[in-house]
Amino acid sequence: MITKVLIANRGEIALRVIRACRELGIKSVAVHSTADSFAMHVRMADEAVCIGPPPADRSYLSIPAVVSACAITGADAVHPGYGFLSENAAFAQVLEEHGITFIGPSSEHIRLMGDKVAAKDFMKQQNVPCVAGSSGPVPSADQAMAVAAKIGYPVIVKAAAGGGGRGMKTVRASEDMEFAFLSARREARAAFGSDLVYIEKFLETPRHIEIQIFGDGRGNAVYLGERDCSLQRRHQKLLEEAPAPGLGEAQRASIGEISANAAASINYSGAGTIEYLFADGEFNFIEMNTRLQVEHPVTEAIFGVDLVREQILVASGEPMSIRQEDLKIRGHAIEARINAERLPNFEPCPGLVATYHAPGGLGVRMDSAIYSGYSVPPHYDSLIGKLVVHGLDRPTAIARMRRALGELIVDGIETTAPLFERLLEEDDIAEGRYNIHWLENWLKDQHG
C-alpha cells in the first residue's frame, strides 16, 4: 500500500488529492514554487517542499526538482493532478526507474496517447469511430492540400504532440492552407517542441462529448457515462455537465463499451478520458487524455464515486472497486470554471482576494484553493475554483447553479462568475441546444 503521496501540482487539484489521501490515512507532500509559499495546498499537506522560483519550467515542470522532493520526503508515490507533468511520459518513466509509483497509467500508454496520430491509429484498430483525416503527419502544405481535397473543406490542421487549442488552425479554402499550415507548425513547435501536424475534417456544429473510463491495469475497464464539454472559448472548456443533454441510453452504452474495451485491450491503469466530437448522431474520436480531467467532479456527483481515491487504490495494487453493473446515473451535475479574468475580453486578473465566501447548501460543491487575504499569482493558469452543483434532474441543477453563483463572493479581483449567470438565462442553454461554436458566436453577438 502507498504510504506517502507527493502531489506534483498546485491549487484546487492539489487540495483535492490531499483530501483523498487524508481519508485513506496516507501522508501527503505538497511541492510549491516561491510564489506559492502561502498557498492553501501548502498549508493543508502533511509536509511541504519548495522546489523553485515562480516560472513553472523551473519548479512545477522540473522533473529533477520533483524527484528530489520525493527523495527528501520519502514519498513512495506521485499524483500529478492535471496539467504540468500529468501527461509527460518522460516524467512517468523517470519515476518508474526510481521505484516511485506514478498514480496514473504507464509511461508507455501516456506516450501512445500523447502522439495524436498514433492514438488515432490505435483507436481505429479497436473499432473506435474516428473523424476523417490524414493517415499520419502531413509534412508539407502541398500534401495538406491534397488531403483536404480528398476529404473536403473545411478542415482543421492540428498539432500531433499537443492539445488545448494550440497548434490548431481551421481552413475553409485551398488558398488559405499554406498560411494556416505554416502557422500551426510554428505554434506546435513553440508549445510542444514538435512541429508535426495532421489534418482532420472540420465538423461545423458538433458537440464535444467525452467518456470517462477507468482501468485496473489488469485488462479490466469500466466507463462512467459521459460529460458534455461543448461550451468552449478558444478550445478551452468553461462549463461542463453530465449526463449530456439529449443523449440516449443506447448511444451512451454503445460508445461507453467501445471506449472501455479500447482501454482494457492495453491493460490501461487509472482514470482516462476518451474525447469525441458528436455530430449527426455519430461519435468521432479526437483524443484521449491519460489523466484526471478538470471536470471530473460532475462524474463523481452523478455516480457517487471518488475517482481520486480509486486512482490511489489501483496504483497501490488494490483491485478496482467499481463494477459496471453498479454504475447507475443519479441526477444531473453541472460545473462552472471560475477564472480570475476580466470580462468581456477574458484578460487575466491576478491580485489580492480581499473577501472570499464559498456557496453552500444541498448539492453544492466548491473546489477552490483561494481564501480571504490570498494573492492570486500571475504566473499560472487563471482557474481559481470549480463550482459544481448536483440535482435530481437538469432543471434542478440549473436552478441550483443560479442560486450558488448568487452566493459566491470574490472581492478584490474580477472573475468569470457573471458570465455563467448570463449564460443560464439563455433558452439555448436551458434546453441543451448548443455546440462547440455556440459560446464564441454568442460572445460575438454580445460584444461584437
Is the CB of residue 137 less than 8 Å from the CB of residue 198? yes
- Residue 448 confidence class, pLDDT cut points 50, 70, 90: low
* Spatial CA neighbour of 36 closest among 62, 65, 56, 18: 56
Supply the pTM of this predicted model: 0.92
Stretch 274-293: mean pLDDT, rounded?
95
- Residue 1 confidence class, pLDDT cut points 50, 70, 90: confident
Which one-letter DSSP state was computed for residue 445? H
Q: What number of helices (H) and strands (E) belong to the chain?
A: 15, 22
pLDDT of residue 292: 97
Stretch 42-64: mean pLDDT, rounded?
97
pLDDT of residue 389: 98
pLDDT of residue 116: 84
How far, CA to CA in Å, does 105 sit from each of 110, 145, 203, 220?
7, 37, 31, 13
Stretch 213-221: mean pLDDT, rounded?
97
Q: What are the phi and psi torsion angles at 437 (to 5°)? A: -100, -5
Given 291, 365, 394, 400, the catalytic residue: 291
- Residue 160 confidence class, pLDDT cut points 50, 70, 90: confident
Whole-number percent of the chain with pLDDT over 90: 93
**Three-class SS state of 38:** coil
pLDDT of residue 85: 97
Extract the C-alpha cell encoding 112: 501512445
Residue 103, pLDDT > 90, answer yes
Structure confidence by residue, pLDDT tens digits, 400-420: 999 999 999 999 999 999 999
Residue 156, pLDDT > 80, answer yes
* Spatial CA neighbour of 338 closest among 405, 398, 385, 388: 385
Residue 338, pLDDT > 70, answer yes
- Residue 192 confidence class, pLDDT cut points 50, 70, 90: confident
Residue 164, pLDDT > 70, answer no
pLDDT of residue 135: 84
pLDDT of residue 136: 85
- 291 counts as catalytic: yes
Residue 163, pLDDT > 80, answer no
Residue 260, pLDDT > 80, answer yes
Average pLDDT for the chain: 96
- Residue 193 confidence class, pLDDT cut points 50, 70, 90: confident
Extract the C-alpha cell encoding 229: 464539454
**What is the distance between the alpha carbons of residues 106 and 194, in angstroms, rounded to a whole number?**
22
pLDDT of residue 417: 98
Secondary structure of 362-411 in HEC code, one letter for each residue: CCEEEEECCCCCCEECCCCCCEEEEEEEEECCHHHHHHHHHHHHHHCEEE
